[in-house]
Structure 1
């Protein structure tokens, strides 16, 4: 399971980019039909996906740093 989300965000971002590229040849048709928003939605999905990848990478790195900073002993204080 992809716990940190980096792979999931990367796959989603790639799919948005492929969709945007696939829509570019149909720019004229989209403009005539009033559905240009399809392309803009795909581009927005790609852009937000890039931000999401960076967010997930930073989160993953912070979690790894926190895990590395923990003592590897018996798990902290003992209760009586």
Structure 2
């Protein structure tokens, strides 16, 4: 018979909008670097960056729609 289980730690409080913005900013930096490299890179990588930036903004829009952005700790 297994011994007593440890209690789960409390969930971390994370500002998800800030995390999404940071990731989107990193993709934007990658896009700028790829554009500066010009024809030395495959266009697939440029479109990958564009898609990631678009998905980041889409994610922010969904979070705003769901009321998850701008919400302060009410606990």
TM-score tier by shorter-chain length is: 0.5 to 0.7
Which protein is richer in helix relative to its size?
Answer: 1
* Structure 1 residue matching 2:14: 3-state secondary structure: coil
**Greater relative CO, 1 or 2 (CA 8 Å, sep 6+):** 1
1:2 aligns with 2:2: no
Figure out how many residues of one structure are paired with residues of the other and give that number.
Answer: 58
Which ranges in structure 1 are unaligned for 5 or more consecutive residues? 65-80
Aligned pairs for 1:1-80 (under 5 A) are 1-2=13-14, 5-30=16-41, 35-59=42-66, 60=68
Superposition RMSD on alpha carbons, in Å? 2.0
Q: Are the aligned partners of 1:27 and 1:36 in contact in 2 as well (CA < 8 Å)? A: no
Which ranges in structure 2 are unaligned for 5 or more consecutive residues? 1-12
Higher Cα radius of gyration = 1
TM-score w.r.t. length of structure 1:
0.62
